[in-house]
Structure 1
Amino acid sequence: MPDILHRISIDAPTERVHDLIATTEGIARWWTGRPLDGYTAIGSRFGVYFANAEKPAAVMEVVADTPDEITWRVEQGPDAWLDTLITFALRPHGDDGTTPLFTHTGWREATEFMSGCTTNWGAYLTSLKAGAESGEFAAYPNGEISRWG
């Protein structure tokens, strides 16, 4: 199965990066640009919204949340995303930096949609980096590079 993989370097403490990935407030800052619903405790679910949507674009179950790894399983969303895993493995880097290793695994096949998702994940990880370092995020729609519809 094909997977999406990204590695970035962030000049911010691992705890700050973790909090941006593991809380609904943090995720909204670097990814969706809109409030999420639900909770981010292990076993809980949260929905992500983009634009003016009335229903979530995706619903994630939190399957892992430790200081060095956050993993979500996609329960609802685009068909190609269903049952895929989104993981952020956080590695300390230098004295006060973090290297997230991002994976979106379990895709059934490589498609044009997957290519667009790869591009957009890279952009949103760049938003995470910029926001963690300076507070200047580029969440949706500013971070969206590959548009659909």
Structure 2
Amino acid sequence: MAGAHSLKHEIFISADPEKVRRALSTAEGLRGWNTPHVEGSGDLGTLWNLKYFGRPDFAWRVDRDDPEDILWTCTKGPGDAVGTTATFSFAAAADGRTRVNVTHGGWPHDEANFTKCNTIWGALMHHLRAYAESGVADPAYS
């Protein structure tokens, strides 16, 4: 079935959900953990343009930005990435941390860029946690 494959990651962050949401929904936030080369406003229907030195650029359309989840749709990227979606959901955990789940779905298969993106999202989530907890920018890619 086309688009049936999704990669998923979960991480717990010692920061409140709103701080995590800002790291995922503002240019300043994205620059803190993803790449310093971010263009976009984060408004619904607009694009995040993420540029990476020596790597493919990505554009993600902001399709939802709610208090508990954010949805992006890939409009530019390598291979089968275009048309996939990244959903970030976050909620307060019982221990005071924030549980963050990312699902990158809509892949036509579970090979090639799917496998590569799985590794990349894992690394990105650790950078998101470090940034949200410390406030110190340390993007995964420059």
Fold shared by both chains (TM-score > 0.5): yes
Q: Which amino acid aligns with 1:24?
A: A
Gaps of 5+ in 2: none
C-alpha distance in 2 between matches for 1:134 and 1:48: 22
Q: Which amino acid aligns with 1:92?
A: A
- Whether 2:105 is the aligned partner of 1:102: answer no
Decide which structure has greater strand share.
Answer: 2
Inter-CA distance 141–38: structure 2 relative to 1 (3 Å threshold): closer
What is the percent sequence identity of the aligned residues?
A: 29
1:1-149 matched pairs, under 5 angstroms: 1-32=4-35, 34-51=36-53, 57-94=57-94, 96-141=96-141
Supply the RMSD in Å over aligned alpha carbons.
1.8
Gaps of 5+ in 1: 143-149
> Does the 8 A contact of 1:6 with 1:101 survive in 2?
yes
Inter-CA distance 7–105: structure 2 relative to 1 (3 Å threshold): same
C-alpha distance in 1 between matches for 2:141 and 2:37: 14
Tell me by how many angstroms 1:95 deviates.
5.7
> Does the 8 A contact of 1:124 with 1:138 survive in 2?
no
Tell me by how many angstroms 1:77 deviates.
1.1
Greater RCO, 1 or 2 (C-alpha within 8 Å, sep 6+): 2
Q: Which amino acid aligns with 1:79?
A: G
